[in-house]
Structure 1
Amino acid sequence: MKWAFLPGCSLHGTAAQYRTSFLGVVKALGIEVQEVPDWNCCGATAAKHFNRQVALVLSARNLALAEKVAPVLAVPCNLCYNNLALAARALQEEAQREQINNHLRPLELRWRGEVTVSHPLKLFLQEIGVEKIRQAVVRPLEGLKIVAYYGCLLTRPQEASIGDSNRWPAWLDMLAVAAGAAPLPFNAATRCCGGTLALTHPEVALRAAGAILAEARARGAKAVLVTCPMCQLNLERAQIEARGREERLLPVLYFTQLLGLALGCDPATVGLKKNLIPFSQGTIR
């Protein structure tokens, strides 16, 4: 099994622990991955509002490069995943695809629609399966109460949703159970954390993240499990900004960090020290 892998800008920067923990997990599960060579920024949230065609070209270039690597493209960043998944859907329309391919022609690239865009969370469940992952666990995280936070970009719009429900998804909870953790009910699982407003309207972002964290604490969670670099950073930042006004800081873990721990990855690979809020296995009970 081989996947192409597009890390996006954040996984080579502020979310380096997401990249290393993802690579550690796929190695433990026997999956071969190859980073897409010479990938480019997906345009984040800004490009599509500035110029939709520019945004499509940015995604199409990555898709064309990924086709040369493997038939499946794993995209861990929720924002990158959302942009590429929606672009791949838009480019199924022949006239649109030819128009975008005209922009790629000077680069000697062409997207043929022969690569499937997927998030690792979905790939782990569909391509590997919960039972095989459970069997690979060597260090079950017994007693770790978590809340699974999906955010908005994995579940909206419906065309990009990775699960069978964009309101009550369960896949992240299923992986947590396979790792030995205990997911708690969580109504805020798909609420927006306000991450894209962190610079323009920080007070709005802090309120949005604060509401999510408040429920997580009320539920008795010991950690919040996330799949998105922007969500991870915003949920940590909100707590640091409010330091002294909260009873306790909640660690915010990438799901690959949790899974990596359960699969026996070493601490450097999982990258817990790169998180702003400390987490150790000593906090499980």
Structure 2
Amino acid sequence: MKNLTNIKIHGILAEQLGQSEWKLAARSIGEAVKGIQCNNKKLYKQLLENDKKNIKYRVLINDKDFTVEEGKDPNTVEGFQNSELVMKSDSIKTIDIVPVLEGSDKLMSILTIIIGVVLIATGVGAAGGAAMLMSGGGGMMATAMVLGGVGLVAAGITNLLTPMPEFGDFREIEQGGARSYLFNGPQNTIREGGPVFVGYGRLLVGSHVIQAASDTVDVDAEVAPKLSWGGADALALNYYISRAGDRLDKAVEKWNEKIPGD
């Protein structure tokens, strides 16, 4: 009897499945994935749901990245079928499935493509062959897995062909290394061209000014207490002509008191 293969799921996927390790008689990645699905009933569903969250995975065989036949492209059907991802071997002792962050470099893009192919292989295996993809409940699941895999492959190719835009040194921007020509005043003024962060959940972070504006409104210094900012009667000059005349008369009277009479 073949020795059991130690299959370990890492990170958030292990939390979602409620279990991180299995010992199964698996001779390939496809058998390992199908074995976990048969025992747990959650793996396929979580892989599809995590794909919507851009969660990818790195697959290790015996603590090493899988190998592909020399001269073959793992992104093609022929190259994939001749890789360790689908080849059966009695020498497989450990399989690790590790969630990884999707990065912008070429390595992450290649990993994305590989993960898509793994899903395709798992889908085909679940239906018992490509000819049975459209028959029965298992075929429906396989079809969903194939479509998910194709989506990941397309995403990986897109990442390879579309490099990330380059930004200036954000530390220089944030610390005021370059003087802003947008506006001034706030301490966290930032020049144009810096990235805009998108936060999820409750965060305790400093603010990031996107736009600022100011309005100037002239008001009389003797605005009555009943008037308030923002009212219709406080949005323009508020001159009380009769009151101004009374003040002028009082001022003249004071001047007359200080001037000696004839």
Q: Which TM class, normalised by the smaller chain length? A: under 0.3
**What is the TM-score of this pair, normalised by structure 2?**
0.21
**Max radius of gyration: which structure?**
2
**What is the TM-score of this pair, normalised by structure 1?**
0.20
Higher relative contact order (Cα pairs below 8 Å, separated by 6+ residues): 1
The structure with the largest helix share of the pair is 1
